[in-house]
Amino acid sequence: MKKFTIALTREYIVEIEAINEDDAKHFVEYYVSGGKDDSIARTRKKENFRIIEIKPVLNETLVI
């Protein structure tokens, strides 16, 4: 078999409830991983946010 190096780019649209826009951006950057919500209930309650939906919008590859 041949060996390949592939760059993978994925983008998502995330719907989130939070106190303000800066918090929303921070929580999305920190807790969304691989298209899934990695936050736990205790953290969501403490930080007062909720990730409602994570929708994939781009899945692109490039051979390097």
Is 64 part of a structural domain of the chain?
Answer: no
Give pLDDT tens digits along the chain (64 positions).
999 999 999 999 999 999 999 999 999 999 999 999 999 999 999 999 999 999 999 999 999 9
Is 36 part of a structural domain of the chain?
Answer: yes
* For the chain, the helix, strand and coil percentages under 3-state DSSP, each to the nearest 5: 30, 45, 25
Task: Give the pLDDT score at 14.
Answer: 98
Is 42 part of a structural domain of the chain?
Answer: yes
Is 3 part of a structural domain of the chain?
Answer: no
Task: Give the pLDDT score at 42.
Answer: 98
Enclosing domain of residue 43: 16-55
Buried b (16+ CB within 10 A) or exposed e, 37-54: bebeeeebeebebebeeb
Is 61 part of a structural domain of the chain?
Answer: no
In the chain, where do the E strands start and end? 6-17, 32-33, 36-37, 50-63
Paired tokens of 49: 């946010």
